[in-house]
Structure 1
């Protein structure tokens, strides 16, 4: 879809380049043309010149298009929120009553929908796609927007609405590559609605069309669909398509698609190869998150430097206006310093208060840890010794010691948790700490985005639940492989725990740990399910709402 927006912007640029009236206007044109020439070569420089153009130009249509270009650059770098901000700025410069602006308005709303889809906000995305539709006059663009609308319905589980849209656009005269895209999405929707539906032949038809048209992005999508479709029916075929998807995504330099392909390879590959693919997945995911964080900071820095340069130029231009302007500037400087000083003082005060609160939390944490490590573990050790002595097995003192052990253990679970923006790292460290020479622990899907909208209470409870499961695994399961998968489905987080140990014989027993686990998951409105009927090992499904 981003390719369409580039084409549309280029068309508008060619029709809206007007003769400038003075040297200042010519300089503005230079900024825009310079940015356009750098778009596919150096995105940071292109972003700078587009933004510089928006600070000087008065042509509303071109300014709107410059912001649209900036949004595409931000979206490609994974800065979805920044892209949305730029798109909203773009719409402010466009007029719904001017027909020449319609295509730009439509593409902006469509791109807002796509960024919302990236953020898994499907209802908001649906609204933006609906806003885009009235402004399209080109059939291919209209059908592409309708395809995106159907996609949103599919993600919301409203399959009938999605299928109705796909049937309509498949009957229109569209480009061959677009037809293949609509066909493949249509078949996937019908398969998701009915798992017994045989979508394979049509998936392969779409892939054949894309191969003939040399549509590499389309082939990448087809491989993903085929890998998912054959996962349970023909795992060997699914593995082949996952491998093809990974190779194609690598050639296209699409890290998101590479990560998706690696997830499929981890799931489908033999045990010996799973470790390798997981290692590649972790390295790629870490580097991608680092690059996207750096890109967000870079865009903010470019805007700051541009605004600073603009302010400096204005000051130089007004130096000749006399002492009156100097007094105004001086007064402004005093006010700015006062405001800055006030802000810095408040921030310093807040920082000191936060440090004090963190110190209190750390002290409480150390205390609770000592309760667990010293008191609870000490009591447990005494209980174990007494249990091994036949003459003391029924002694009431043992029951009292056990009660003290449970109380001290419960206290250790109530330690305060400081707010941590990198919760995925904490979960990674926690789960990996249970890995050993005899037990391999594999994590899939534990990304920073997964936890962004999860409340602190839910994070704390989930951390305790996972810790309890891993402690039980370490003590009882005798497992050599443990896999924990994280994923978000609409407004729920799903966590799947699987090991190849001895399982739970005789069903789940309601001991203290499992009772606490049940209480914790209920506290955040979630569920936990133990599957003890598997041939070997144990499977546990955890699900809870995002917020």
Structure 2
């Protein structure tokens, strides 16, 4: 009876289903899909599905966000928002990527320092890609503060690299150098991607500051660690340009020629055009009677086809130079094209170069208009660069860590200013004194001269004593050891030669440290050679702006004292600091010269300063030229020296 009832029920259901065209399989699938469509995990999974178009992935992300909000699942919301920033970034919708990043940051806890640092770094990338450079720099700087707290050296170095590149792009080359040198201290040698970018940035800074030898130095460092051939081509192109600027035309042309043989160039029209144009320009500079027009035109055609506006500006510049000695009218036409395109692309430096060409070429009444434009753009550029430097300085100052550093520098500079004000006051009092006071002043001056001469004699004595002790302790003892080996052992010839070479190097160092100093016109070259001689495989010496301070105009006494003080600093660094990086910067204003020395060595406690004879000698030397030297150091935090003296 039961079987009959079941059969009847099945029969009734089957007939109803048949009558309404009903299908159990279809409805079950629809029901299953409806359950899945309401599942948060389902939407998150599809949001991350790489095979789907990005726009579809965003739809899944939006639905997932809606469900996560309903269920108040904060961790899921963070996961979705983080991925949405990635999707918008890939779509190059940077405004939306930035907006979503800010929403994501609101959900992060304040103690999640690393997470905040990561997100600000990502925002820096989106701002930079969106041409919002100020905001990009701010984000990288803020991210850096977070990673300083958690002591994540790799991320600190990466942020500093981005910041240095931004500063360089905006024309703050000195600031970029400072930031870049800091980055080197944090980046591990294995992080070749960032190190290569950083070295290239420092090379560009040096080139734009007309220090082409320094540019080549950084190009070579970048080249050693470049990770792919296309990066190497870019670096070699920059090196060839630096060689051209140094008038080493044969080397430059040879390098450009080798680059054009690379098959990879054919796939990169912009790079190909750049190298063809640069090679032609080097050949023309080497021989202005040489016809390189076909290469110039080929580079121009490639750039026009590729819509490379910045490349075209360079083509027009070179063509204007080429025609200057052949056809003034064509030269003016190309200079005008350069100016108009540079104005359209808002490139003030290229505008200035184009106006210079027009002023020298065009003899019409328009020359006044060109000159007025040149003055206006030049003034605007100087003001813009000043604002850029101030803006970066303020951003750094707003950081708590850098605020302390700026306060320290402010104190040091205040001390210098106070000393200088005292010196001014003494001069004024001396000038206004009566005859009796003047005689007293002369007597005091005589006493000081006598004292200075005595100090000089004592210094000569100390120097001679030091040399004698060094020869006795290091050279003589080594010679005795070699003699003993010759007499009483059967050491091989190679071992004895190695020992003799060590003695030779010792005597050469002693000679170098106490050699005569070239002064006058040759002083700057001599000082550069001294500082460069301390470059080793483990220590890099950075010298900034030495060409801008005209050291050749200093008196002979000042040149000698400055040389010896810097020599003493470098010798101390080599012996005691274990520094990987040394930076020496030169600066001058209307009345004074400034020299700042800084290394990242082991340093030593401040209380030990008074016991260092070398530092006392430096103080004595700087005082002898009416200057001031102050030191700053602490254990494991490097050593700094600040020198100032009147012209």
- The match for 1:157 is 247
Quick one: structure 1 residues 358 and 68, their matched pair in 2 at CA, closer, same or farther if it must change by over 3 Å? farther
State how far apart, in whole Å, the 2-side matches of 1:152 and 1:358 are.
50
The answer to whether the 8 Å contact 2:274/2:311 transfers is: yes
SS in 2 for 1:272: coil
The answer to whether the 8 Å contact 1:266/1:278 transfers is: yes
1:77-476 maps to which residues of 2 (within 5 A)? 77-96=170-189, 98=190, 101-172=191-262, 173-174=264-265, 175-307=268-400, 344=414, 347-351=417-421, 353-354=423-424, 452-454=548-550, 457=553
Q: Is 1:29–2:122 an aligned residue pair?
A: no
Quick one: structure 1 residues 309 and 199, their matched pair in 2 at CA, closer, same or farther if it must change by over 3 Å? closer
Deviations 1:146-192 (A, max 9, x none): 01111111111111111111111101122111000000000111111
How far residue 217 of structure 1 moved from its aligned partner, in angstroms, is 0.9
Q: Is 1:38–2:127 an aligned residue pair?
A: yes
- The match for 1:468 is none
SS in 1 for 2:251: helix
State how far apart, in whole Å, the 2-side matches of 1:360 and 1:262 are.
52
The answer to whether the 8 Å contact 2:165/2:198 transfers is: no
> Cα RMSD over matched residues?
3.2
How far residue 347 of structure 1 moved from its aligned partner, in angstroms, is 2.5
State how far apart, in whole Å, the 2-side matches of 1:189 and 1:269 are.
26
How far residue 281 of structure 1 moved from its aligned partner, in angstroms, is 0.3
Gaps of 5+ in 1: 1-9, 12-19, 312-335, 362-448, 459-547
SS in 1 for 2:366: helix
The answer to whether the 8 Å contact 1:113/1:125 transfers is: yes
The answer to whether the 8 Å contact 2:196/2:226 transfers is: yes
Deviations 1:376-435 (A, max 9, x none): xxxxxxxxxxxxxxxxxxxxxxxxxxxxxxxxxxxxxxxxxxxxxxxxxxxxxxxxxxxx
Q: Is 1:48–2:141 an aligned residue pair?
A: no
1:447-526 maps to which residues of 2 (within 5 A)? 452-454=548-550, 457=553
State how far apart, in whole Å, the 2-side matches of 1:360 and 1:201 are.
72
How far residue 93 of structure 1 moved from its aligned partner, in angstroms, is 2.1
How far residue 117 of structure 1 moved from its aligned partner, in angstroms, is 0.5
For the pair shown, the structure with the greater C-alpha radius of gyration is: 2
State how far apart, in whole Å, the 2-side matches of 1:72 and 1:303 are.
16
How far residue 457 of structure 1 moved from its aligned partner, in angstroms, is 5.0
How far residue 65 of structure 1 moved from its aligned partner, in angstroms, is 2.3
How far residue 44 of structure 1 moved from its aligned partner, in angstroms, is 2.4
Quick one: structure 1 residues 222 and 31, their matched pair in 2 at CA, closer, same or farther if it must change by over 3 Å? same
State how far apart, in whole Å, the 2-side matches of 1:137 and 1:342 are.
43
Gaps of 5+ in 2: 1-88, 91-107, 432-544, 555-647
State how far apart, in whole Å, the 2-side matches of 1:236 and 1:359 are.
65
How far residue 357 of structure 1 moved from its aligned partner, in angstroms, is 6.0
How far residue 77 of structure 1 moved from its aligned partner, in angstroms, is 2.3
State how far apart, in whole Å, the 1-side matches of 2:362 and 2:238 are.
32
Deviations 1:230-280 (A, max 9, x none): 111111111111001111111111111111111011111123111110110
Q: Is 1:64–2:134 an aligned residue pair?
A: no
How far residue 344 of structure 1 moved from its aligned partner, in angstroms, is 4.1
State how far apart, in whole Å, the 2-side matches of 1:202 and 1:67 are.
40
Tell which has more relative contact order, 1 or 2 (C-alpha 8 A, sep 6+). 1
TM-score of the aligned structures, taking structure 1 as reference length: 0.55
State how far apart, in whole Å, the 2-side matches of 1:134 and 1:341 are.
42
Deviations 1:118-170 (A, max 9, x none): 11001111111111112113222111100111111111111111111111110
How far residue 341 of structure 1 moved from its aligned partner, in angstroms, is 7.6
The answer to whether the 8 Å contact 1:48/1:303 transfers is: no
How far residue 353 of structure 1 moved from its aligned partner, in angstroms, is 3.4
Q: Which moved more, 1:352-361 or 1:63-72?
A: 352-361
State how far apart, in whole Å, the 1-side matches of 2:421 and 2:334 are.
52
The answer to whether the 8 Å contact 2:396/2:402 transfers is: no
Quick one: structure 1 residues 70 and 223, their matched pair in 2 at CA, closer, same or farther if it must change by over 3 Å? same
Quick one: structure 1 residues 260 and 143, their matched pair in 2 at CA, closer, same or farther if it must change by over 3 Å? same
State how far apart, in whole Å, the 2-side matches of 1:164 and 1:252 are.
33
State how far apart, in whole Å, the 2-side matches of 1:342 and 1:138 are.
46
How far residue 24 of structure 1 moved from its aligned partner, in angstroms, is 2.1
How far residue 360 of structure 1 moved from its aligned partner, in angstroms, is 10
State how far apart, in whole Å, the 1-side matches of 2:428 and 2:167 are.
35
